[in-house]
Each structure stands twice: as C-alpha cells, then as structure tokens.
C-alpha cells in the first residue's frame, strides 16, 4: 500500500501567511502603534484642536488694530504645528514602507538564507513572493485609506474657520487627503521589494528602496498638473488676479492670440516697452473641483508603475531561481 504525501497550494498559503506575520511581528506592531497615534492625532485635529484654533482666530479678527487686545495664540500655533506633524508623517509613510520592504521583507531574508529555506519547505519562490507582497499590501491599503480619510476630515474642519489652514493644492496636504497616499505606499512596497531582490543585502536594499520611492514621488509631482485638462483664464494686461487653485502655467497674450511667457523688465520704462504689444494675461490652473480627478488620475498612474515594479520583482526572482513551479510532491511507501 502506498500513500502520497504533499502540501497543497491551498494549505501552503495560510501557513506562509502565518509565518510571514510571525517573522515580521515587530514591524507589524510598530506600524499598528503608529497608525493608532496618527489616527488619534487626526481625530483631535478634527475636533478640539480645530475648535480652539477657530476661537483663537475669531478673537484675533475681533481685536482689529488694538495692540492691547489678547487672543489665544497658543491654540492657533498648536493646531498649526500638530497639523504639519500629522501631514508630514503621512507623506513619509511610503518611504518607511519602502525601507522596511527592502531591508526586512526581501533583502534580509535573501541575505540570511531564510528565503531559500522557505523554498525547500514546499513553497515555491513565486508563492513566497506573492505572499510577501499581497499580505502587506492589503494591510497598507486599509491603514492608509483610513488615515487619509481622517486627514481629509481634519483638513476640511479647518477650512474657512482657521486662517492658516492649508489650501487643497498644497502638495503635502493633497497627497495626505486622498487615495494617492495608498497608491504611493503600494509603489514604495514594490520598489523596496525589488531593491531587496536585486541587491540581496539589508542596508543597501533599504537605501535603494527609499531612493526609488523618492524618484517616484518626484515623478508624481511633475506629472500631476498635466494628468487632467486644466482651466485657462484670461484678463487684461494691467490687472493681475490671483489664481485660486493649482497653477500650471501663466504668461501673456499677444495680439495674434498666442500665449507666451511674460517678459522680464527692471524699470517702469522697460516694462512699458516690453508689455506694449500684449493684449492680456493668461493663467492655466486647476480649480478646487479638480481635486478628485487629479487624485484618481495620479493614483492610476502610480498603480500602473506599481504593477510594473511587481512584474519586475517576479522576473528578477525567476532569473535568480529558475522556473517558478512548486516542487514535485514527495512519494512515500507505506
């Protein structure tokens, strides 16, 4: 009589997930603690902190030009500082994830040989990598999605109430307020994992992952204003109207209707001569109604880049380990 001993893919996947969570428990606990602290801070910003700051600004406006009038400056500064701390922290999350993914998720396991040990325990390299990308990705999407929603509530609570509130197009506020935060975090995860697979050493992979994520962020900043059709507004030459939105371009309108950059001048006579042939000014910008179109198109771009990075991860692993088929089941005689 013979029996077939094997580990099925459906049974192997939960075991790989449990092993991953156990192996990276310190990072999981640290991430959870950070998320709880940020969530508590954002809830405070949306409630008592913004209310106190709004009262302080009302007092300040009521004072007018009276130098002896007092107002709650501490509440105003406290709200401003804590908002900046929370917003910067959210913008740094993709870099933290990239550093962890490069150093611990793939780089350290390849450097120490833990990954090769896992591949000998009926887990193919492809399944090993799939679990290491899919499980953190799920947790990151849930966490960053919740935090960005809380940040948007905190930001909206201060609009029209706190004079120092950030505009919607402030780049740190923009990315903390919507799904681009989750998309860039996933890109950081994929970039870090790829760095670990390529470098196969902990610290160098950490550095490479962070640098690649920084490059993606810079690329996003350059592309963002051009991912959705902007609004063009024209006006007279001698009247400058501030743009209330994300500015893309500005300049002068010629007599033929062409849009050209504004000329430089350093004197009244020189400016009169330089501007005499223009009929007006133009401004190209994104109004507040473009917030969600810009968020969604930017997120789509980042997710496309993430897909390319994930594909590169599997191709790199295939090149390093050969075919990504699971090992043949062992047959034992009884």
Asked which of 40-54, 61-75, 196-210, 289-303 is least confident by mean pLDDT, the reply is 61-75
Beta strands in the chain (DSSP E): 2-5, 231-235, 246-254, 259-260, 278-286, 330-333
Say how far apart CA 147 and CA 131 lie, in whole Å.
24
Q: Do residues 12 and 148 share a domain?
A: yes
Q: Do residues 267 and 172 share a domain?
A: no
Q: How large is the average pLDDT for residues 173-189?
A: 96
Q: Do residues 122 and 266 share a domain?
A: no
Q: Does the structure show a pLDDT above 90 at 270?
A: no
Q: Does the structure show a pLDDT above 50 at 5?
A: no
Q: How many C-beta neighbours within 10 Å does residue 150 have?
A: 21
**pLDDT score for 312:** 95
Q: Does the structure show a pLDDT above 90 at 216?
A: yes
Q: Do residues 100 and 207 share a domain?
A: yes
Q: Do residues 221 and 254 share a domain?
A: no
Q: Do residues 188 and 272 share a domain?
A: no
Say how far apart CA 316 and CA 314 lie, in whole Å.
5
Averaged confidence pLDDT in the chain: 86
Q: How many C-beta neighbours within 10 Å does residue 12 have?
A: 19
* CB-CB contact of 274 with 219 (8 Å): no
Q: Do residues 219 and 238 share a domain?
A: no
CA dihedral 197, 201, 206, 212 (to 10 degrees): -40
What residues form DSSP beta bridges with 233?
A: 283
- Nearest Cα residue to 139 out of 147, 150, 151: 147
Three-state SS at 26 = helix
Say how far apart CA 272 and CA 278 lie, in whole Å.
10
Q: Does the structure show a pLDDT above 70 at 183?
A: yes
Q: Do residues 11 and 117 share a domain?
A: yes
pLDDT digits (tens, 9 = 90+) for 145-177: 999 999 999 999 999 899 889 999 999 999 999
Contacts of 203 (CB under 8 A, 6+ apart): 103
Say how far apart CA 326 and CA 332 lie, in whole Å.
18
Q: Do residues 74 and 158 share a domain?
A: yes
Is residue 205 very low, low, confident or very high in pLDDT (cuts 50, 70, 90)?
A: very high
Q: Do residues 221 and 264 share a domain?
A: no
pLDDT digits (tens, 9 = 90+) for 89-147: 999 999 999 999 998 888 888 887 777 777 776 678 888 888 889 999 999 999 999 99
pLDDT digits (tens, 9 = 90+) for 221-264: 999 999 999 998 887 777 666 778 999 988 888 877 788 887 78
The pTM of the full predicted model, rounded to 2 decimals, is 0.86
Which residues constitute the domain of residue 181? 2-228+292-333
Token couple for 143: 């966490």
Say how far apart CA 192 and CA 97 lie, in whole Å.
8
**pLDDT score for 7:** 47
Final residue before a domain boundary, out of 251, 272, 288: 288
Number of domains in the chain: 2
Q: Do residues 140 and 224 share a domain?
A: yes
Q: Do residues 305 and 245 share a domain?
A: no
* CB-CB contact of 303 with 190 (8 Å): no
Exposure of 229 in the CB half-sphere (CA atoms within 13 A): 1
């Amino acid at each position: 009589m013979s029996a077939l001993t094997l580990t099925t893919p459906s049974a192997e996947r939960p075991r790989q997930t449990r092993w991953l969570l156990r192996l990276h428990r310190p990072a999981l606990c640290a991430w959870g603690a950070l998320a709880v602290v940020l969530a508590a801070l954002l809830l405070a910003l949306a409630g008592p902190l913004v209310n106190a700051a709004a009262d302080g600004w009302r007092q300040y406006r009521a004072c007018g030009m009276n130098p002896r009038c007092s107002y709650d400056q501490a509440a105003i500064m406290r709200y401003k500082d804590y908002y900046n701390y929370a917003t910067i922290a959210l913008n740094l999350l993709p870099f933290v994830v990239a550093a962890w993914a490069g150093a611990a998720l793939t780089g350290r396991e390849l450097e120490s040989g833990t990954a090769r040990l896992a591949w000998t325990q009926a887990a193919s390299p492809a399944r090993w990598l799939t679990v290491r990308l899919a499980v953190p990705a799920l947790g990151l999407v849930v966490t960053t999605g919740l935090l960005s929603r809380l940040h948007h509530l905190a930001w909206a609570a201060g609009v029209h109430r706190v004079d120092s509130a950030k505009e919607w197009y402030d780049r740190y506020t923009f990315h903390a307020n919507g799904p681009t935060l989750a998309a860039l975090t996933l890109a950081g995860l994929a970039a870090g994992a790829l760095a670990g697979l390529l470098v196969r050493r902990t610290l160098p992979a950490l550095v490479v992952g962070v640098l690649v994520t920084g490059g993606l962020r810079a690329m996003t900043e350059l592309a963002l204003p051009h991912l959705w059709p902007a609004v063009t507004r024209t006006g007279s030459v001698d009247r400058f109207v501030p743009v209330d939105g994300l500015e893309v371009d500005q300049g002068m309108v010629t007599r033929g209707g062409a849009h050209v950059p504004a000329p430089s001048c350093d004197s009244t006579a020189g400016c009169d001569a330089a501007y005499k042939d223009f009929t007006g000014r133009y401004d190209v910008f994104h109004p507040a109604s473009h917030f969600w179109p810009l968020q969604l198109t930017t997120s789509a771009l980042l997710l496309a880049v993430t897909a390319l990075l994930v594909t590169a991860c599997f191709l790199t692993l295939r090149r390093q380990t050969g075919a990504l088929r699971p090992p043949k089941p062992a047959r034992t005689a009884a």
